[in-house]
Amino acid sequence: MENVPIFHPEPRHLTEVVDQLDENIVDHVSHRSRNRGLSSGSKATYRSIIRSYNQFLAVKGLTVCQESLQRYFDQITGRYRASTLNLRKYALLKVIKAQIGEDSLLRQMAIEKVFEKIDHYQTEKAIARDACLTESQVQSI
């Protein structure tokens, strides 16, 4: 993969390159949220994810593109649980769409296509048997 910006559906029609994500875009993402917006804790988490990705970009000499996203997730996959990886993926999708694709439906669709190529990390849904009450314990309650 080459270091091609992800925000235009046709790579041969390149526009500006985005070197880093803007942490302040989190406030914009929160404002556009369907519900009451992001909590202060969620905003802090999003900013932390942006800093982590920006640091990765700086160290690797990459820009915001499909290759850098894939390499970022390849690098962190063994370090975090599946739920954390999915949160990071979702946060970066929201932030990149807000920063780069907000003014164009085609750009937003192109960004979503890029994120579809990144793995969805399977979370465990089973509850450990010893974490559940037995039938007799339930009845005694």
pLDDT score, position 128: 72
**DSSP conformation class of 65:** B
pTM to 2 decimals?
0.74
Q: Give the pLDDT score at 10.
A: 43
User: What's the pLDDT at 49?
Assistant: 96
Tokens describing residue 68: 């850098």
CB 22 within 8 A of CB 122: no
Task: Give the residue among 51, 63, 64 at the shortest CA–CA distance from 111.
Answer: 64
pLDDT at residue 24, rounded to an integer: 87
Tokens for 112?
Answer: 């979503």
In tens digits, the chain (141 residues) has pLDDT values of 455 555 544 443 334 568 889 898 888 887 766 666 788 899 999 999 999 999 999 999 999 988 999 999 999 998 999 999 999 999 999 999 888 877 778 888 888 888 888 888 777 776 777 778 888 888 888
Q: Is 126 helix (H, G, I), strand (E, B) or coil?
A: coil
Q: How far is Cα 135 from Cα 59, in angstroms, rounded to an integer?
A: 55
Q: Quote the pLDDT of residue 93.
A: 92
